[in-house]
Copies of this chain bind each other. A is one copy, B any other.
Amino acid sequence: MIIDRNSPIPQYFQLQTWIIEHIEQGVFKPDEKIPTEEEFSQMTGLARATIRQAIQNCVNMGYLYRKRRLGTFVIKQNLNVNKKTIIGVMVPDIRTGYAPELARGIGDEAAANKHSIILCNTDDFYIKTNFHADNLIEHNVSGVIYVPTAASDEKNRMILEKFTRKNIPVVLADRVIPDANVDYATTDNFQGAYELTKYLVNKGHKRIAVILSTLFSTERQRFDGYKQALSDSNIPFDPSIVVADQGPFLENFYIKYVKKLLDDNNITAVFAGHDRIAYLVYTVARQSGLRIPEDISLVGYDDLPSSSSHPVRLTTMHQPIYEMGKQSMKLIMSRINGDVSEPQKVILKSYLVERFSVRTIHN
């Protein structure tokens, strides 16, 4: 080892750099003893106080620890390894839809690995999302699980980039951002909606209304699955029994839509974009004196936990939301642990839960 005595760089600094490099390159191995102050003194020709200064700085930075009479040693853990990590979780609203279930799946997997989660509500607004993103970065989160907002793909990509610039891995949950180069965990909404529609067709339904929002990638895919299933069943697509709203789910708007659907058409079944819409359909239908499934059949999508105890006994597509949470946590942990492979796509299987909201029609 050569200390350059003519360099403007302080000699203690040269020495501490040399030590740190040797640790990081594995020359000094964890828990291994490094030379004593006296040895360093002989090696470098520096005074002991100078050597102490270098070593002390390494101790302060967490590279070394010292024991009287025994010497100076390299710290075992790689600094980051035993440091418990925090994962940011950004959902639209922890109160609504599947968010609680997702948060719980994420939380359980996190707890099992001694990690913690910071929870943020984006309300599907870019501004709030942006605020929380900055916040998470300031808190030095090790990774982020992100349910993309209803905002434009462009804006979602900006959020993504914020994290990637700081080398913080991100996993998308449920919703997807087109062409984004990140891991995600979702379900096959196209396939699910396809099966659900086919199920209605097989029960003899031909005039199947649909009501959903195209604001979210998931519901768009469900819409596509619905159309494909109709097409494959040689049932014409009728825009007059379709409500494809472009905004968020606002009850008052949807009540109007449902009323119009139920009044104006001789539909036999309604495909609701998600369970909450389905319950709304039920409530409105009831007020109009229509019974489910006697007068009109109804299917939802999600199978919210409350669905099992709800009096509607809704036939719906069960989404493994809890499992999705666990999987996204696993993805993010893999990235934190240094996995640099291609983006992973975890697509979970949904399955139909047949309850009592669909009637068989004999044509």
Give the CA-CA distance A120 to B87 in the complex, in Å.
Answer: 13
Identify which of B116, B282, B311 contacts A118 (C-beta below 8 A): B116
Number of identical monomers bound together in the oligomeric complex: 2
Chain B residues near A93: list those with CB within 8 A.
104
Partner of A107, one of B60, B117, B121, B138: B121
Residue of B nearest to A101 (CB): B95
A111-B120 contact, Cβ under 8 Å, with A95-B305, A309-B279, A311-B283: yes
Docked pose: A96 CA to B304 CA in angstroms: 12
- Taking CB atoms, residues of chain B closer than 8 Å to A100 are 94-96, 99-100
Q: A286 at interface (Cβ–Cβ under 8 A)?
A: yes
Decide if B116 touches A120 in the complex (CB within 8 Å).
yes
Q: List B contacts of A138 (CB < 8 A).
A: 84
The answer to whether B108 and A121 touch across the interface, beta carbons within 8 angstroms, is yes
Given A100-B95, A104-B93, A107-B94: A118 and B312 interface contact (C-beta under 8 Å): no
How long is the Cα–Cα vector from A108 to B117 in the complex, in angstroms?
16
For residue A306, CB closer than 8 A to chain B, the reply is yes
Minimum C-beta distance from A295 to chain B (A): 16
Residue A280 interfacial (CB < 8 Å): yes
Q: Mark A97-126, 1 if CB is under 8 A from B, else 0.
A: 001110110011001001011111100000
A251 to chain B: closest residue by CB? B309
**A281-293 CB contact bits vs B (8 Å, 1 = yes)?**
0110010000000
A135: interface (CB < 8 Å): yes
- Let me know if A131 is at the binding interface, CB within 8 A: yes
CB of A282 within 8 A of CB of B311, answer: yes
Closest-CB distance, A340 to chain B (whole angstroms): 27
Chain B residues within 8 Å of A103, by CB: 94-95, 119
Bound-state Cα–Cα, A103 to B104, Å: 13
Contacts of A89 in B (CB 8 A): 119
A287 vs chain B, min Cβ distance (A) = 10
Residues of B within 8 A of A136 (CB): 116
Name the distance in Å between A117's Cβ and chain B's nearest Cβ: 6
Residues of A within 8 A of B (CB): 49, 60, 84, 86, 89, 93-96, 99-101, 103-104, 107-108, 111, 114, 116-121, 128, 131-132, 135-136, 138-139, 251, 276, 279-280, 282-283, 286, 305-306, 309-312
- 15 example contacts (A-B, Cβ-Cβ < 8 A) are as follows A86-B118, A93-B104, A94-B103, A94-B107, A95-B104, A95-B305, A104-B121, A107-B121, A111-B132, A114-B135, A116-B139, A118-B118, A280-B309, A310-B310, A311-B311
Known: A94-B94, A280-B309. 13 other contacts (CB 8 A): A86-B139, A89-B119, A95-B103, A95-B305, A96-B100, A107-B120, A107-B121, A116-B135, A116-B139, A251-B309, A276-B309, A283-B311, A311-B311
